[in-house]
Amino acid sequence: MMKNDNIVTVNGLDIGYDENLVLKDINFSVKRGEIFAILGGSGSGKSTILKHMIGLYKPLKGEIIINGKDIVKFEESELIKLNQHIGVLYQSGALFSSMNILENVMLPLREFTELPPEYTASLSRAKLGLVGLSGFEDYYPHELSGGMKKRAAIARALALNPDILFFDEPSAGLDPLTSIELDDLILELKNELGTTIIIVTHELESIFAIADTIIVLDQNKKTIVAHGEPHKVRESSISWVRKFLNRSR
């Protein structure tokens, strides 16, 4: 596979619920192996786009092409197969409290593969090691710090060696130092594994530290108002976007 081809392409996407149009005419592409960030104010539709890209919702119109296939046209069985090629980190981590973190990471392997238990356990330990949690396999979610929960959830998202990772507000609820450590981990995943990472966030420091490309959504215009490399967008976009990215009044 070419390193810089598009792994995701969104064409003419309209999103809404009932009579409420949330976003219109959304167009962008994500290159294989890049960190792509979706920004915007509260209520602008950031997480809504992500939920459509992982197949949770159907758009009003448009295409969401992942690895050359339009997932908008997928039947339920095809969406289940899609889930084996993507990993998702939800804002809360969404770990199962009744399972230790090794069992949490093993869950996708048990669900989607026929590997024997000893292999699923070994692979899951390797994923925990990849995110810096070796030695914590027997801990339960309530015994972990916020940052460790996020790392455990990332390990679970990596369980099936996905082509794409989707992160919904990965730094939410974390202190500044833990957020920096999480940014470093995201960069390591990109550089060491070549994984494509799509992030929904409002953390500007993280964006300028790790993102290759960003789009900025405007709640009033209901569409993308800026698209490009973060520093260039901050310097050359419309006034509202410059203020947003510079945190100015």
Contacts of 138-147 with C-beta under 8 Å, sequence gap 24+, read 138/100, 138/102, 139/100, 139/101, 140/97, 140/99, 140/100, 140/101, 141/93, 141/95, 141/96, 141/97, 141/101, 141/104, 142/97, 144/101, 145/178, 146/173, 146/174, 146/178, 147/174, 147/178, 147/181, 147/182
φ and ψ of 30, to 5 deg: -120, 125
N-terminal to C-terminal alpha carbon distance within the chain? 45
Mean pLDDT, the chain, rounded, equals 89
Rounded Cα–Cα distance for residues 164 and 197 (Å)? 6
What's domain 1-85+165-249's superfamily in CATH?
Answer: P-loop containing nucleotide triphosphate hydrolases (3.40.50.300)
Q: Which helix (H) or strand (E) holds 76?
A: helix 76-82
Tokens of 52: 């459509």
Predicted confidence (pLDDT) per residue in 153-203, tens digit: 999 999 999 999 999 988 877 888 888 999 999 999 999 888 999 999 888
* pLDDT at residue 77 in the model: 86
* pLDDT at residue 248 in the model: 54
2 pLDDT band, cuts 50/70/90, is very low
Mean pLDDT of 211-238: 90
Specify whether the CB–CB gap between 220 and 40 falls below 8 A.
no
Cα angle 64, 245, 48; round to 5:
30
Contacts of 106-114 with C-beta under 8 Å, sequence gap 24+, read 106/159, 107/156, 107/159, 108/156, 108/159, 108/160, 109/159, 109/160, 112/83, 112/84, 112/160, 113/160
Residues forming CATH 3.40.50.300 domain(s) in the chain: 1-85+165-249
pTM of the entire structure? 0.90
Predicted confidence (pLDDT) per residue in 106-137, tens digit: 999 988 888 888 889 999 999 999 899 999 99
* pLDDT at residue 4 in the model: 46
Continuous H helices in 27-73: 46-53
* pLDDT at residue 1 in the model: 40
Taking 60 as the threshold, does the pLDDT of residue 226 lie above it?
yes
Q: Which of 88-92, 176-180, 184-188, 211-215 has the lowest mean pLDDT?
A: 88-92
* pLDDT at residue 81 in the model: 86
Contacts of 86 (CB under 8 A, 6+ apart): 54, 66, 162, 163, 164, 165, 166
